[in-house]
Structure 1
Amino acid sequence: MESIIHRLTQRFFPKDKGYTITILGLDTSCKTTLLYLLSTGQVVRTIPTIGFNVETITVKTPTSVLSFNGLDVGGCGASHMRSIIAWYTTVADAIVWMIDSADPERLPESLEEAQIIVKMTMDRKAEAGKPPAPFPILVLANKQDCSNAISVDEIQMRFSTAMSNHVLFVFKTSCTAPYGSSGLPEAFGWLSVALQGVTSKNPGPVLAPSGAGSQVYDPRSSDPLLQRISNWVTLSDSDSSPDEFLSQFHNLQLPSWDHYAHIRIAYVILTKYGRQKIKT
């Protein structure tokens, strides 16, 4: 059975036909909803996936257009399906891992399943004689519009601790929101850059757009602190103006409150008002 799947995936998703991306996650995380939202632009009614669904997708991002074969695979969470799922991920260029943020009790299960599948994928690639090159893992913290959603910071902390050796980024998304405000354009914009980075001969650190989510910094860097500072400098160059950033802060409208936002607000206040303003 597995050998048949292996031959089929190699036949239908050859490397010269563009990127192949697998969409994975536990049930009810909206994998199929995402696939058809990206391919049709509409939220469609779906049923639990048995096997897989595949679509050729073109996604508009803030800075580019990303085209790929999207493969929504069912069965995540079932131990007997893992080896079959690993055949799909072995031929893929990236993994999109969906999380149901409105179900906090299953977050540990989702993380464990992601770890197992990623490890099996790396092992399969090694068995096939492929170099152990990193592949992007885009984690979508879906259903962030629900009142009981797990915070993106908590998801980032857990995934960054457990999967620190991978090029990984966590984005907050909602598949039922209008596409422009769903978080998906920024998420797939990062994935586009990440795919270009890992397939180039001299990949550099993969940056993410400001406020988009929480990054697990590239482990290939020899100095994570210098890399982080470099990332912040790059983000500040493309971010909103100091006055706009300060207005977002006063109106509680910052996309996220991470280390970058914390340090930048302190810097903006210092340069605009001086030390006395911070004291008051």
Structure 2
Amino acid sequence: MGMFLAKLMSFFCNQEHKVIIVGLDNAGKTTILYQFLMNEVVHTSPTIGSNVEEIVVKNTHFLMWDIGGQDMLRSTWSTYYTNTEFVILVVDSTDRERLTITKEELYKMLAHEDLRKAAVLVFANKQDMKNSMSAAEISKFLTLTSIKDHPWHIQACCALTGEGLGQGLEWMTLKTAAK
């Protein structure tokens, strides 16, 4: 009965869930945001600061903050962490050279007090590219299985076609229903 009541309340209250989309520059964060919003590819330029959009999936409202990923902007990511329920980490699956930096940024975020309750969705983007790493390879490199205090999921995707993005949103929607 309690679960039914909670579902009923969430249906009428349309609670918003704050999401931050982070990753290194050129990983595909903004392309993913606008693929969610408009289901089409939008030509983007590097994000300075952030873009914010509301995405609704099955009556679940996500307020998504796409945050610039250039080196000089990463130190500002923490200003967006307050009340964040989901972190979407976008990884360029072809960028093997900078995967170590991505890993460092991920664990720095997960150690932050404001993200202690946040769930993590990793998008292994650019799966359509030649020589891209699989989601399993990226998961192993990032040692995702060592993350015990945050729910996490890795999803192979292609921001340009939208492939895999729906499955990631579905995982997030299921996580909000479980709360």
**Which protein is richer in helix relative to its size?**
1
**C-alpha displacement of 1:20:** 1.2
Counterpart residue number, 2:64:
70
Letter in 1 for 2:89: W
Q: Secondary structure at the match of 1:93?
A: strand
Query: Deviations 1:237-276 (Å, cap 9, x if unpaired)?
Result: xxxxxxxxxxxxxxxxxxxxxxxxxxxxxxxxxxxxxxxx
In structure 1, C-alpha distance between the alignment counterparts of 2:65 and 2:114, rounded to whole Å: 18
Deviations 1:138-173 (CA, angstroms, capped at 9, x unpaired): 000000111110121111223324534321110000
Query: 1:65: Cα distance to partner?
Result: 5.1
Is 1:96 equivalent to 2:94 in the alignment? no
Q: Secondary structure at the match of 2:66?
A: strand
Which residue type is aligned with residue 34 of structure 1?
A: I
Partner residue of 2:79 out of 87, 105, 117: 87
Q: Determine the structure 1 residue equivalent to 2:125.
A: 142
1:97 is paired with a residue whose SS is strand
The CA deviation at 1:31 is 0.5
> Is the aligned partner of 1:107 residue 2:106?
no
Answer yes or no: is the 8 Å Cα contact 1:98–1:142 preserved in 2. Answer: yes
| Change beyond 3 A, Cα 1:17–1:76 | farther
* Residues in 1 aligned to 2:126 and 2:74: alpha-carbon distance in whole angstroms: 26
Match of 1:169, SS? strand
The question of whether the paired residues in 2 share the 8 Å contact of 1:38 and 1:58 is answered with: no
Higher strand share: 2
**Aligned AA (1:18):** E
For structure 1, the residue ranges without an aligned partner over 5 or more in a row are 1-15, 126-131, 201-280
**1:33 offset after TM fit, Å?**
0.8
**Counterpart residue identity of residue 176, structure 1:** L
Instruction: Report the AA paired with residue 32 of structure 2.
Output: L
Deviations 1:175-202 (A, max 9, x none): 112x4xx0111111011111232xx3xx
Match of 2:170 in 1: 189
- Choose the corresponding residue for 1:41, options 33, 39, 42: 39
Gaps of 5+ in 2: 1-13
Q: How many Å separate the matches in 2 of 1:115 and 1:195?
A: 23
Aligned to 2:21: 23
- Normalising by structure 2, we get a TM-score of 0.83
Counting only pairs closer than 5 Å after superposition, residues 1-280 of structure 1 correspond to structure 2 as 18-59=16-57, 64=58, 66-75=60-69, 77-78=71-72, 81-82=74-75, 84-120=76-112, 123-124=113-114, 132=116, 134-159=117-142, 160-177=144-161, 179=162, 182-197=163-178, 200=179
Contact 2:15 2:61 in 1 (8 A): no
